[in-house]
């Protein structure tokens, strides 16, 4: 009797413990659901992995005020520059997955850096996509005094003599765009990296280098002033900033499609309901006529849409740049 009572008591204790675990799990799930339902009830931090004043920072600030109005809570920009965006992106990956920390996702950090940095402080699976904000075309320009007027003339000259092209830096989208063009056409071009788009543009204006892969909105004033000549847009579609500029693809290099791009990530594990709220808020902001005009005037091709669209695009870009980086032998310690 004593042993039977012991076993019976043990079974009861085990069942009670199991019931308590299930109850706690249900309570936790309920709290999580309640938090998602009430989201957001405090300010949201938006990590931008570059210093203030750059293109990423400018874009985030074009959106954050209206985004805060739509969400009913302030969206605060947190600039975390360094290591080609890796420092800020790493901080975003390690944040609490509750929707209160977003990360500005950029072509460099998510499709190029994994191939050029031997050790990455994060991986793509550390993030969950929120939205694909926009594409930013590149434009190839030469000095207005150059005999080159289009991509085919550039390629013909590159087959006869050494041609140089500048970019905003080693491993930048401009650098790899030039390498991809060389790869697809079989020509040799010498890359000359600069510390930013400004110095690279100055180098073309002074005749120090032959061409530059850069951002249309930055180069458009010099093009309109007759100091630079646009010879090709790098995306599959023409850009609204330079609507008369033909794409490289339509000039006889089929399939050539290069752009920088940006979007928003949150840490993996963020509740789907929270991601859905953030996605809906961003789409509403991107549909605002005032915001759209500002983005288009600054050279951004607006995308928007569901999170899955951004996820599949990032995966395709990651694969796209792997062989280009390998061919160019780009490595940053």
Q: In what order do the strands lie in the sheet with 189-193?
A: 189-193, 163-167, 211-214, 139-143, 228-233
Residues 52, 149 within the same domain: no
* H or E segment to which residue 278 belongs: helix 272-286
Shared domain check, 48 and 22: no
pTM: 0.80
Residues 145, 194, single domain; the answer is: yes
- For residues 156 and 245, membership in a common domain is answered with yes
Domain count, the chain: 3
Q: Say if residues 229 and 146 touch (Cβ distance below 8 Å).
A: yes
Rg (CA), the chain: 25
Whether 187 and 159 have beta carbons less than 8 Å apart is answered as: yes
Q: Is it the case that residue 31 has pLDDT exceeding 90? A: no
With beta carbons less than 8 A apart as the criterion, state whether 257 and 136 touch: no
Question: CB under 8 Å to 311, separation ≥6 — which residues?
Answer: 129
Query: Among 38, 134, 115, which residue's Cα sits nearest to residue 330?
Result: 115
Residue 333 within a domain: no
Same domain, 190 and 107: no
Question: What is the separation, in whole angstroms, between the first and last Cα of the chain?
Answer: 73
pLDDT at 32 over 70: no
CB neighbours of residue 151 within 10 Å: 23
Do 103 and 63 lie in a common domain? Answer: yes
Domain span including residue 25: 1-32
Which pLDDT band holds residue 129 (cuts at 50, 70, 90)?
very high
Residue 58: Cβ within 10 Å count: 13
Could you tell me if 75 and 46 are in contact, meaning their C-beta atoms sit under 8 angstroms apart?
Answer: yes
302 part of a folded domain: yes
What gap in Å lies between CA 65 and CA 79, rounded to an integer? 16
What's the pLDDT at 55?
79
Q: Which two tokens stand for residue 214?
A: 């850069």
Mean pLDDT of 274-292: 98
Structure tokens at 200: 């690279």
Boundary residue ending a domain (224, 251, 278): 251
Rounded to whole angstroms, what are the CA distances from 120 to 31, 117, 193, 265, 291? 34, 6, 22, 17, 34
Return the residue matching tokens 């005094």: 145
Q: Is 201 within the bounds of a domain?
A: yes
Output the domain CATH number for residue 298.
3.40.190.150
Closest C-alpha among 173, 150, 149, 178 to residue 163:
178
Q: What is the pLDDT of residue 11?
A: 54
Same domain (yes/no): 269, 125: yes
Same domain, 201 and 236: yes
pLDDT of residue 84: 84
Assigned domain for 1 exists = yes
Among residues 137, 130, 121, the alpha carbon closest in space to that of 49 is found at 121
The whole-number pLDDT of residue 112 equals 92
Residue 204's pLDDT is 97
Residues 191 and 218 in one domain: yes
The pLDDT assigned to 6 comes to 43
317 within domain boundaries: yes
Instruction: Please report, for the domain that includes residue 163, its CATH number.
Output: 3.40.190.10
Q: What is the mean pLDDT of the chain?
A: 89
């Amino acid at each position: 009797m004593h042993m039977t009572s012991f076993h019976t008591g043990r079974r009861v204790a085990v069942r009670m413990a199991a019931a308590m675990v299930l109850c706690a799990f249900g309570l936790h799930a309920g709290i999580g659901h309640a938090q998602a339902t009430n989201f957001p009830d405090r300010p949201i931090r938006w990590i931008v992995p570059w210093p203030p004043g750059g293109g990423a920072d400018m874009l985030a600030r074009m959106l954050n005020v209206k985004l805060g109005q739509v969400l009913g809570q302030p969206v605060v920009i947190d600039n975390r520059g360094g290591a080609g965006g890796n420092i800020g992106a790493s901080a975003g990956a390690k944040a609490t997955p509750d929707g209160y920390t977003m990360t500005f996702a950029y072509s460099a950090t998510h499709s190029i850096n994994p191939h050029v940095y031997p050790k990455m402080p994060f991986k793509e699976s550390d993030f969950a996509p929120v939205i694909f904000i926009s594409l930013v075309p590149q434009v190839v320009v030469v000095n207005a005094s150059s005999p080159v007027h289009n991509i085919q003339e550039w390629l013909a000259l590159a087959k006869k003599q050494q041609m140089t092209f500048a970019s905003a830096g080693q491993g930048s989208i401009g650098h790899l765009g030039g390498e991809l063009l060389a790869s697809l056409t079989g020509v040799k071009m010498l890359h000359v990296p600069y510390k930013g788009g400004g110095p690279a543009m100055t180098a073309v204006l002074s005749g120090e280098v032959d061409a530059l892969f850069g951002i249309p909105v930055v180069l458009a004033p010099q093009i309109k002033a007759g100091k630079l000549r646009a010879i090709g847009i790098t995306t599959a579609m023409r850009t609204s900033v330079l609507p008369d500029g033909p794409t490289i693809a339509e000039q006889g290099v089929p399939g050539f499609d290069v752009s920088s791009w940006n979007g928003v990530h949150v840490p993996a594990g963020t509740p789907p309901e929270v991601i859905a709220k953030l996605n809906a808020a961003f789409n509403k902001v991107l549909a605002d006529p005032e915001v759209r005009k500002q983005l288009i005037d600054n050279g951004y091709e607006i995308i928007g849409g569901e999170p899955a669209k951004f996820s599949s695009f990032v995966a395709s870009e990651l694969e796209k740049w792997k062989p280009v980086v390998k061919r160019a032998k780009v490595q940053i310690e």
